[in-house]
């Protein structure tokens, strides 16, 4: 998790298992594409850095963050993946919509994690403003996509 004391893209490379024999599904929301595209780029580059073959990284898009639950569930049911990563960005607005989407996605992914045979990695940025999202998709706090890729590799070996 990104904080003022920790960059999410920094980790001990010696603790990461080899991902060359792993297959990953990534579901990415199209909403806030500037942010989610950067998260996706970070996740893919990090998976490949640790040995994942490009043909073993399958990417599907969904319209928004709420649809990440359905997309992840479909990948679990039909994909043969070692882990699935969800990537999205919800930025607080003037209505309670932010709260409903964030709570719904969090609960849905948590439920999938308790009922699925493979891990689903939570990569939903929930920020108060655009700058906070930019700081966490390749900015001063690193890239949450990198962190999700590392989590996926580690959890696939759990």
What lies within 8 Å, CB to CB, of 110 at 6+ separation is none
| Residue 118, token pair as written in the block | 């493979």
CB 127 within 8 A of CB 101: no
| CA–CA distance, 129 with 93 (Å, rounded to integer) | 8
- Helix, coil or strand: residue 84: strand
Token pair 């599907």 is found at 60
Partnered with residue 131 across adjacent β-strands are none
69 DSSP 8-state letter? H
Cα-Cα-Cα-Cα dihedral of 37, 45, 153, 120, to 10°?
10
- The residues assigned a catalytic role are 97
């Amino acid at each position: 998790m990104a904080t003022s004391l920790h960059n999410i893209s920094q980790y001990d490379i010696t603790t990461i298992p080899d991902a060359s024999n792993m297959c990953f599904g990534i579901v990415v929301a199209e909403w806030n594409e500037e942010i989610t595209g950067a998260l996706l780029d970070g996740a893919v580059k990090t998976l490949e850095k640790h040995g994942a073959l490009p043909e073993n990284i399958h990417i599907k898009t969904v319209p928004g963050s709420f649809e990440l639950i359905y997309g992840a569930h479909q990948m679990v049911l039909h994909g043969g993946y070692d882990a699935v990563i969800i990537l999205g960005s919800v930025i607080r607005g003037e209505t309670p919509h932010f709260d409903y989407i964030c709570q719904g996605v969090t609960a849905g992914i948590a439920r999938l994690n308790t009922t699925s045979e493979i891990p689903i990695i939570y990569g939903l940025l929930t920020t108060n403003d655009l700058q906070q999202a930019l700081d966490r998709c390749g900015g001063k706090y690193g890239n949450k996509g990198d962190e999700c890729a590392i989590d996926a590799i580690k959890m696939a070996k759990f």
